[in-house]
Amino acid sequence: MRKITYAEAIREALRQEMRRDENIFLIGEDLGIYGGAFGVTRGLINEFGEERVRDTPISELAIVGASLGAAITGMRPVAEIMFMDFITLAMEQIVNQAAKMKYMFGGKAKVPMVIRTPAGSGTGAAAQHSQSLEAWFTHVPGLKVVMPSTPYDAKGLLISSIRDDNPVIFIEHKLLYKTTGEVPEEEYEIPLGVADIKRKGEDLTIIATSIMVQRAISASKELEKEGISVEIVDPRTLKPYDKKTIIESIKRTGKVIIVHEACKTGGFGAEIAAIISESESFDYLDAPIRRLGGLDIPIPYNRNLEKNAVPQIEDIIKAAKELIGK
């Protein structure tokens, strides 16, 4: 199978969906000729024109508000917020309007909109352009939250998100855009709410999201050299989330580490830990649940400090050895 980048997989999903349904359009800052801050939408304006690839003023509130209005009147907008940090400027529209309309209108209103947004550190973009805020949105009833970690998942999950009749927050890690993987040329959907086991193992389960999936895979290869067999579970969607796959994995291995980039305090890892402690898998644990998250600090500009602010491969290896007792 051919290999393409994470960014190309997202672009291909957008192109195929826009060809399929003329009600789908893109909206955001610099999406058109510039192709988006990270080049994801490059070239789409040449095929679909300015009506369907709409550049906007610098106003996240306007981007989301216009998308919401379009969605409830029959369109299927895919909005881009250039950096996840700036999604804070549109929180009222997302949390108080988009998330609640279906419920407030007794199910008669549909809000089929996707908000794509790059998140995470690693680019030297400092405190206001490097945050991981996914846990905020999992707390809001009515929103779906997606965090793909591979090009294959990015394409399939984005297609499913676009076809969903509910508002979806689609979070793309900046460092993943250039990663490559096998992706079919044809359209395909990955159902929201279905986790994926990225690597089978027997001694330890690592539950990781987004960029941390790739780091966990790298760590597991090093741990394998020392006789430690690691199973890696990628939730892929945080809301809805797949409890069954997580529980069954822990019942097999008896040990678990939860890894995410967002600040540890209040991070989604705490929700996963609660799921485990409230399920039958808790009785199978041979060691305490271990969480690895970002430090509770703004992301530093200095590259060395930035790296130390979030979990790295060596941190995962260290935590695994400690849990195993090696």
Q: For 151-167, write each residue's pLDDT tens digit.
A: 999 999 999 999 999 99
Q: Is 129 a catalytic residue?
A: yes
pLDDT band, residue 325 (cuts 50/70/90)? confident
Predicted confidence (pLDDT) at residue 326 exceeds the cutoff of 90: no
Q: For 30-75, write each residue's pLDDT tens digit.
A: 999 999 999 999 999 999 999 999 999 999 999 999 999 999 999 9
What's residue 299's pLDDT?
97
Average pLDDT rounded to a whole number, residues 122-138: 97
Closest C-alpha to 86, from 55, 112, 125, 54? 125
Q: Which value, to the nearest 10 degrees, does the dihedral of the CA atoms of residues 145, 88, 98, 29 take? A: -90
Strand spans (E) along the chain: 3-5, 24-28, 53-55, 76-80, 114-119, 144-146, 168-173, 180-182, 196-199, 204-208, 230-234, 237-239, 256-263, 290-294
Cβ–Cβ < 8 Å for 313, 218: yes
Cβ–Cβ < 8 Å for 149, 211: yes
pLDDT, averaged across the chain:
97
Tell me the whole-structure pTM to 2 decimals.
0.97
User: Could you say which of 129, 139, 173, 260 is catalytic?
Assistant: 129
Average pLDDT rounded to a whole number, residues 205-231: 97
What's residue 1's pLDDT?
86
Which domains does the chain possess? 3-182 (3.40.50.970), 196-324 (3.40.50.920)
d(CA 29, CA 24): 17
Distances (CA, A) of 83 to 118, 133, 297: 5, 11, 18
Residue 229, C-beta contacts closer than 8 angstroms, at least 6 positions apart? 201, 202, 203, 204, 223
Average pLDDT rounded to a whole number, residues 154-181: 98
DSSP secondary structure letter of residue 250: H
